[in-house]
Structure 1
């Protein structure tokens, strides 16, 4: 065996030692349980303001009457986590069924095949870049979890240009995640945080706009330059193009199928923006779209059910990972150590130069996001504490909110407690451990980019 073969063999051997996603998250669960014996229980006082529960600054106190968790509580937390994450589980199952029906009809594949053939597969990098920015726009304007069902489309686009499911998933999940994280008009993070900081809603948008555009450009370059070259073993049920691009054409039935699909997505967006729809309503719309598409393609009721069940079974493993990850939050809540962690981390920002305090704030928020994965929930917990800290260290409130966005939003792409991210990975047929291998180098790059932006923002008086 020559040197090159030995290197390949060693690389393959190392790759096989990476734990299964279930094992990896269970190990994190065990580590979280261990933390409950090292971190004392504590809490902040909370009050109702404007219909929201907010933390009272300087009200933290330790609790002495919280019983220690038993080892058995680890295993009880898993079914409780499945229950807590049921919203995400069901939308993954239903979206899996919807796209399985679309896959069987061939309408979506035919549309992508025709579009890529006309654009030219030799323009692969342009297609990936445009796709990344489109998904980024959806993240900016629509939200995070609301875009779960769009991931398989990116996988098919990637297949059409000769790339792996990993490329398509990175394009979709990365684009949506970056767009949502740095959105200048994010109502869940910016809107809530600026309300607490007593700033005009969506003010200071110019810095966040520059950051999101620069970060999406960086992501596009990273995908084209690095992710397309990564070794990735396609799962057996991966959605891929079934013939050469020149063979694709659109029938009348295909066009009607796409009209139903796109019309359903538009109706979903209208519901999100005007009726306050969230996961349950979106999942219901996906189910309705699947049924109507089945009828348009002449499927009987039994055939529609069969296709939905086959699609749901294909994403079962990914859905169960979501439930297992949610058990981490169960343990943290039971031990009542989340507020203690927030209190300890927020103290790190004080006593450092103002020019670096924004960077430290983003790091703190990123760590807190592991324990409080909801963006609006994290804003309600941390902003009443960190806004006064910003005033003390000479950092503007606007910059503190942007630092919060960077820390909270970007870490959604890697923390195992982000149900939306795990749901998207399940639909893209990319495991959590393979996702980490692909996205972690980009996380380093995008954080450096955003930290430079935060320092510049401080220097120009943002």
Structure 2
């Protein structure tokens, strides 16, 4: 049972961070280069991928090249500048992540995102039932565009008192925020930290499969909204049906503090313009990739230009603009480092000549599997991996280089593997105890972890059915 007490949480066992897990995997893979036989496939140019790809049935043994200590230490460094089997150097992807972090930092500093959501909450007072789909839609937009996660923690103190005043409970408030943003990440469409990085690691444009991802996003969002609204109305009609009814008085004492209406900032014309630029920037990115041949360099320049445009319009002053931009960059330095660290695993595998041996084993494992069976096996593999690597970017660059080429042998599009990965990772991170956003949100709401699991398990089954059905139908057609 998770404790809401910070002190208790600190005394408990801690799960290793993504950095430790990935560096540990580099060491493990280096050890495996001394054990697993070296091998290689013959390769030929693949027009769909635009580069050489392994040919099924051509595997043969090769001279071994086991990796040592120096190779392990060099792997994360080489991972940043060695394209390996990717479309671009990792340094290009890392720079893109840092610049988009700066862009988000500048937009956030204007108050447009926070004020826009607050305005939506206030305008729906008295019609709280409809607050649920509207706010979950706004949070889902943040999730599907830029992977909104840690940013949601600021909204719990704002939304919980409103939900309690509307005779709902803290479970409803947590669900609106955590499920709203989480289902957006689950159905990522242009999320740079999931879809774009995974597609790059798979060697395909991120726009491949975007229609399927929109379908998954829409269906899962609708399923979550209906589920949360049903629960909320049951609690409103009969408070004893709340999963935290025994804590009702405690929650009301803690959260229902009178709020000064004048404290709510005005939703200005500037905020509307900034939000319009925010949404338009992602739309232009999709257009550029689809129709103008853009890739990492052009997309990075787009977000840099958009950040400057927001700065010119908001006019925070040169010093404040730079500080906001650098603050956003600092927030994502860890993500940029994870990209190089995770790609270092592939560097060791390639240099140790065991990548093709592992692919050969995977080819044998999926041989005879139908397209539907294959993509569902991939989905459940990603579910298992997500518990150990909750970072969407870390899991993308860890798993895509292996699983995406296997799809070629199974006759399944690589974009389906990318979609299976992000759906699995997004689903697990709705309840993942190793994911700080989940545990942080529950701690703020004073909601015990096992109560959240009781609320979530039927919804997890519903979302799993939706995702597997979408992946299966896409594999067939």
Shorter-chain TM-score: what band?
Answer: 0.5 to 0.7
Aligned to 1:21: 18
The 3-state SS of whatever aligns with 1:37 is coil
The structure-2 alpha-carbon separation of the partners of 1:18 and 1:49, relative to structure 1 and needing over 3 Å to count, comes to closer
How far the C-alpha of 1:75 sits from its partner, in A, is: 1.0
Match of 1:130 among 133, 137, 152: 137
Aligned to 1:35: 32
CA distance in structure 2 between the aligned counterparts of 1:385 and 1:116, rounded to whole angstroms: 50
8 Å CA contact retained: 1:272, 1:278: yes
The structure-2 alpha-carbon separation of the partners of 1:269 and 1:210, relative to structure 1 and needing over 3 Å to count, comes to closer
CA distance in structure 2 between the aligned counterparts of 1:5 and 1:213, rounded to whole angstroms: 32
Aligned pairs for 1:23-422 (under 5 A) are 23-50=20-47, 51-63=50-62, 65-83=63-81, 84-120=89-125, 122-123=128-129, 125-127=132-134, 129-131=136-138, 134=141, 147-148=145-146, 160-162=158-160, 171-172=180-181, 174-178=183-187, 214-217=219-222, 247-350=264-367, 359-360=376-377, 373-374=399-400, 379=404, 381-387=405-411, 408-412=418-422
Residues paired across the two proteins, number? 391
Aligned to 1:393: none
What RMSD over aligned residues (CA atoms) do the two structures have, in Å? 5.2
- Further displaced range: 39-48 or 252-261: 252-261
The 3-state SS of whatever aligns with 1:108 is helix
Structure 1 portions without partners, runs of 5+: 139-146, 194-200, 230-241, 388-399, 416-420
| In the alignment, structure 1 residue 449 sits paired with structure 2 residue 450 | no
The structure-2 alpha-carbon separation of the partners of 1:23 and 1:384, relative to structure 1 and needing over 3 Å to count, comes to closer
TM-score normalised according to structure 1 size? 0.64
The structure-2 alpha-carbon separation of the partners of 1:331 and 1:12, relative to structure 1 and needing over 3 Å to count, comes to same
The 3-state SS of whatever aligns with 1:161 is helix
The structure-2 alpha-carbon separation of the partners of 1:223 and 1:5, relative to structure 1 and needing over 3 Å to count, comes to closer
The structure-2 alpha-carbon separation of the partners of 1:6 and 1:122, relative to structure 1 and needing over 3 Å to count, comes to closer
8 Å CA contact retained: 1:41, 1:340: yes
Aligned to 2:391: none
CA distance in structure 1 between the aligned counterparts of 2:227 and 2:5, rounded to whole angstroms: 23
8 Å CA contact retained: 1:97, 1:307: yes
Structure 2 portions without partners, runs of 5+: 82-88, 161-169, 232-242, 245-258, 386-394, 440-448
8 Å CA contact retained: 1:346, 1:364: no
8 Å CA contact retained: 1:211, 1:453: no
How far the C-alpha of 1:21 sits from its partner, in A, is: 3.0
The structure-2 alpha-carbon separation of the partners of 1:7 and 1:53, relative to structure 1 and needing over 3 Å to count, comes to closer
8 Å CA contact retained: 1:349, 1:360: no
8 Å CA contact retained: 1:21, 1:433: no
CA distance in structure 2 between the aligned counterparts of 1:79 and 1:96, rounded to whole angstroms: 22
